[in-house]
């Protein structure tokens, strides 16, 4: 029963033109819409160049454009759907509370991670080399 009420409230939302709380959470909502539109564009380009490659030019260009328009409109309406918009508004509020590290701290942490990865790689290389040497010493053939 709950699924029906959700679907009833989503469908009318697709045909509205107004913005829900237009001055709140703008940045996160705009980036979310942009991500949906770009992903849809890549999908439509792939559709045009792969599956519709042998179709006529009108179909090859028209179908992906209409599909992209529908997905972009749905994405735009989704970021203005009350429940999802409230979530995105709270995400932006949390992002504004984050204490971001200073540049020097980021550089130091990056150096630690890169050095650790190189040391771990060298350790794994050494262990692998030792095991290969031991298996050859006892006559174990790698190729079976």
Claim to verify: residue 144 and residue 126 sit in the same structural domain: yes
- Least Cα distance to 84 among 6, 8, 140, 3 occurs for 6
Range from 64-68, 76-80, 138-142 carrying the lowest mean pLDDT: 138-142
pLDDT mean over 42-52: 92
Note down the domain range covering 108: 101-144
Range from 10-14, 92-96, 127-131 carrying the lowest mean pLDDT: 10-14
Q: Which two tokens stand for residue 66?
A: 């209409």
Claim to verify: residue 86 and residue 39 sit in the same structural domain: yes
- Least Cα distance to 39 among 18, 80, 77, 67 occurs for 67
Claim to verify: residue 79 and residue 29 sit in the same structural domain: yes
Position 2 pLDDT exceeds 70: no
pLDDT mean over 41-68: 91
pLDDT mean over 71-78: 91
Position 1 pLDDT exceeds 90: no
DSSP assignment, residue 102? P
Q: How confident is the model at residue 142 (pLDDT cuts 50, 70, 90)?
A: low
Distance, CA of 104 to CA of 102 (rounded, Å): 6
Q: In the chain, how many domains are there?
A: 2
Claim to verify: residue 94 and residue 105 sit in the same structural domain: no
Claim to verify: residue 87 and residue 24 sit in the same structural domain: yes
Claim to verify: residue 15 and residue 81 sit in the same structural domain: yes
Claim to verify: residue 109 and residue 74 sit in the same structural domain: no
């Amino acid at each position: 029963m709950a699924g029906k009420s959700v679907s009833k409230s989503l469908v009318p939302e697709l045909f509205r033109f107004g913005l829900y709380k237009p001055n709140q959470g703008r940045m996160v909502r705009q980036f979310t819409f942009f991500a949906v539109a770009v992903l849809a564009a890549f999908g439509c380009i792939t559709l045009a160049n792969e599956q519709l490659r042998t179709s006529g030019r009108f179909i090859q260009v028209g179908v992906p454009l209409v599909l992209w328009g529908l997905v972009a409109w749905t994405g735009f309406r989704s970021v203005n759907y009350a429940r999802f918009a409230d979530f995105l508004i709270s995400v932006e509020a949390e992002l504004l509370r984050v204490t971001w590290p200073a540049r020097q701290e980021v550089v130091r942490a990056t150096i630690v991670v890169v050095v650790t990865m190189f040391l771990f790689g060298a350790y794994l290389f050494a262990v692998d080399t030792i095991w290969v040497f031991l298996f050859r010493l006892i006559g174990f053939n790698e190729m079976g």
